[in-house]
Amino acid sequence: MSPKVKIHVFVDPEIWEAFKNYVFSKYGTLNKYLGDEISRAMEAYLRDHQTAHTQEFEHMISKPNKKHIKLLVWLLKNYPSEVLYSIVKTYINDNYGIDKRTVKKYLHDFLINGGFVKVLKPIRGNRDLILQVNANRILDYLSKFVPEKELREKYGICREAFKPAEEVKEEEEESKGSIKAYAAERYEAGDSIDEIQQKVADFGLELGKKAIRSIIRKARREGYG
């Protein structure tokens, strides 16, 4: 059994007194049993309400409306990594309405429960929250409901622009390795520095002769060519 946690919450005083009276009448004491009964009450609540909530969420996530799509596009294009809770809330208020239920529907029920963002950490000394944006999750979701051509031409979104930093770095390293190998290979084949410089330019790199020589030396040390 997991260790118990201590919670601090504010509840309606009449409900609290009624609940304590119930526990006392059942066990003759509040010690030990009060926490157990609170846990059972929360468990019963989740059991009775979670299924309906899950079905409602699955229906919403499987049939997004234009506002859902617009929200994800805005988030991806402007804050593909992290965003403040207050910024998302303000966007929703400005575009969809200021009702608290509207914020809950689009920010909590859709973005957070949908896995598009998650609470990263609170800002010290501030009531705001930092939300981590899952760009890949958003891209995968948008791709299911918006044609690729429309994503690219109407919204200016293409998957290549949102590759994780690690993936981009790996591709850059692979590209550098290919250029080094090519330069060393051509040097071994008897090409001059001028010729190699011209051919490397075909890779989209404008390098000076000194840089070409450095690439060749490094490539030969690493075993290329």
| The pLDDT of residue 110 | 93
Residues 97 and 115 in one domain: yes
Domains: count for the chain:
3
Which of 162, 188, 213 is the last residue before a domain boundary? Answer: 162
Taking the C-alpha atoms of residue 2 and residue 197, their distance in angstroms, rounded to an integer, is 65
Q: Hey, what's the torsion of the CAs at 90, 120, 39, 47, to 10 degrees?
A: 70
Q: Give the model's pLDDT for residue 195.
A: 83
Query: The whole model's pTM is what?
Result: 0.54
Rounded mean pLDDT, 87-97: 95
Q: Which amino acid is at 88?
A: V
- Of 138, 162, 186, the one marking the end of a domain is 162
- Give domain status of residue 51, yes or no: yes
pLDDT at 142: 92
Residue 209 contacts residue 197 (beta carbons within 8 Å): yes
Average pLDDT over residues 204-224: 76
pLDDT for position 139: 92
pLDDT score of 148: 87
Largest interatomic CA distance in the chain: 96
Cα 162 to Cα 18: distance, rounded to the nearest angstrom = 54
Reported confidence tier of residue 125, pLDDT bands at 50, 70, 90? low
Across residues 17-32, what is the average pLDDT?
91
**Percent of the chain topping pLDDT 70:** 82
What backbone torsions phi and psi does residue 205 show, to the nearest 5 degrees? -115, 125
Q: Tell me what the pLDDT averaged over the chain comes to.
A: 82
Residues 80 and 141 in one domain: yes
The pLDDT, as a whole number, for residue 189 is 82
Q: Is 5 part of any domain?
A: no
What's the whole-number mean pLDDT along residues 95-112? Answer: 93
Q: What local confidence, expressed as pLDDT, does residue 223 receive?
A: 66
Q: Which residue has the higher pLDDT, 46 or 75?
A: 75
Mean pLDDT, residues 126-145: 89
- Distance CA(21)–CA(103), nearest Å, equals 37
Check residue 52 and give its pLDDT. Answer: 59
Residue 23 clears pLDDT 50, i.e. is over it: yes
Q: Residue 138 above 90 pLDDT?
A: yes
Confidence grade of residue 211 (pLDDT, cut at 50, 70, 90): confident
Are 107 and 190 within one domain? no
Residue type, 141: Y
Domain boundary at 28, 62, 96, which? 62
